Amino acid sequence: MIEGRFGDKGQIYLDIDLIDGDISFPIETMLDTGFTEYLAMNKQDVQSLDWPFLRQNKLRTAQGETEFDVYNGRVIIDGQKFEIPVFAGDEIQEILMGSRWLKLFILVANYGENTVKLELINQIIN
């Protein structure tokens, strides 16, 4: 289980680790339930990592249909390593965790008690 936090406007922030070669380092992500994939990052940040390019993919966003570069990213969440498609775009300003993670984790968010928790329920990515 990992613990997160609420932002000033009710955003949910969670810490995960990005893996670059043999090194991992923590980063803060924002949960975006409107984003239906695993992870989205700024293209410049993704290109600085040692992640292979997979393909280009179009997704519908609030600004309309947008084309993203997709990379094979490696992350650690709650002590588990995952290889996931990471969507990279020029306009992405925060690192976004998408709602697809909620197939693998239980999210407990209690604004009144100021608690956010993400607990692993499944180790297989579909």
Q: 4-18: per-residue pLDDT in tens?
A: 999 999 999 999 999
**How confident is the model over 75-102, as a mean pLDDT?**
94
Torsion sign, CA atoms 38, 41, 47, 50: negative
What is the predicted pLDDT for the residue at 73? 96
Q: What is the CA radius of gyration of the chain?
A: 14
117 burial level (CB within 10 Å; 0-12, 13-18, 19+): middle
Looking at the predicted structure, is the pLDDT value of residue 78 above 70?
A: yes
Q: What is the pLDDT of residues 49-65, one digit of tens each?
A: 989 999 998 877 666 67
Is the separation of the CB atoms in 86 and 68 below 8 Å? no
Residue 21 carries which DSSP code?
T
What's the pLDDT score for residue 1?
87
Average pLDDT value for the chain:
90
| Beta carbons within 8 Å of 73's beta carbon, 6+ residues apart | 18, 38, 39, 46, 49, 51, 83, 84, 85, 86
For residue 11, is it left (φ>0), alpha (ψ between -120 and 50) or beta?
beta
Distance of CA 52 to the CA centre of its chain: 17
What's residue 67's pLDDT?
Answer: 87
Quote the pLDDT of residue 71.
97
Query: 2-120 in CATH: which number?
Result: 2.40.70.10
Q: Domain spans of the chain?
A: 2-120
Q: Are 17 and 25 in contact (CB under 8 A)?
A: yes
The model scores a pTM over 0.85: yes
At residue 78's C-alpha, the angle toward residues 109 and 76, to 5°, is 120
pLDDT at 126: 45
